[in-house]
Amino acid sequence: MNGKKVNWIFLTVVLLNITTIVLLSVLYPIFQLGMISNLILSQLIVFLPAAFGVLLAKENLIQFAGFHKIKISSVFMTIFFTWLCMPLITLINAVSMLFVDNEVAAMSSDIAGAPFLSVLLVMSILGPLNEELVCRGIFYQGYKRSGTMMQAMLLSALLFALLHMNFNQAAYAFAIGIIAVLLVEATGSLWSSVILHVTVNVQPVLLMHMEDGADIREAQELLTTDMLLLVISVYLIIAVVTTALAGCVLAWIAKNEKREENLRAVWKTRKCKKEGKVVTIPLLIAIIILFPVMILTAV
């Protein structure tokens, strides 16, 4: 599995996703999927092409993705690290809201109306596990075989962002993608990025079920530019402090797992002899297809 094969998988996921959206739109009057069914279907669209690609490449999916053991102390510090990164993620989300709507808030009524345990399982556990397996497991590890670790990190984060198919979620998903890769290299295990992703996703699910979904959506609609700028100003100050602390925690995790060199290697730009290229025609086609779709979603 290398970068070229990753790009073919991503193009397949994009085409399947758009085809499914079109079919469901056409069949909507006679065939309607509920919230949970939609979420599960969207995860299958991502998982199946990726898993099939790994199978064709004759790789062991679990080993290739990097599901290795980590110390229990690193698990707790990973959760702490995630909390410290949340102000930065919130800041990026708020900045994106100057230009586009908050997509999660727009779905708040549907999410709040679905059974809590089902939403928690799909959005906060199965979804993160699947997306980390594909994006930090298959995509990132595949790109590492074709380019530098920096290229692999940025491209896998970009693909993770684009899979959300809207500019709001894509903005902070890109940041989460980079943070997740740094965790994977600090711990040597995909489990750390799964813990990060679960911790990030569980918070909005809990919030939307503790409060009325309609109220959250209404608050989003009443949010003025001046109010948003104030939120951005406050979170900018908080994020500067907490992100710096998060960097210290990440360094501690790497030292705890004896992977300081692996973490430092992410920033090296030297490329040794690799398999194939990281940017190929299928990737460019997928991006060209996605951007008009994302623009239409934002309009």
Per-residue pLDDT at 281? 95
Confidence tier at 235 by pLDDT (50, 70, 90): very high
- Check whether 214 has a pLDDT greater than 60: no
Say which residue, 106 or 176, is predicted with more confidence.
Answer: 176
At residue 213, the pLDDT reads 56
Is pLDDT larger for residue 116 or for residue 156?
156
Work out the average pLDDT over 66-89: 96
Can you give the pLDDT at residue 174? Answer: 97
Give residue 115's pLDDT.
85
pLDDT band at 112 (very low <50, low <70, confident <90, very high): confident
CB 43 within 8 A of CB 127: yes
Query: Mind giving me the DSSP string for 39-87?
Result: HHHHHHHHHHHHHHHHHHTT--HHHHHT-----HHHHHHHHHHHHHHHH
Per-residue pLDDT band for 163 (boundaries 50, 70, 90) equals very high
Round the average pLDDT of the chain to a whole number and report it.
Answer: 90
Structural domains counted in the chain: 1
Please give the residue range of the domain that contains residue 83. 3-298
pLDDT of residue 161: 96
Alpha-carbon span 212 to 113, nearest angstrom: 9
Helices (H), 163-259: 167-187, 190-210, 213-222, 225-256
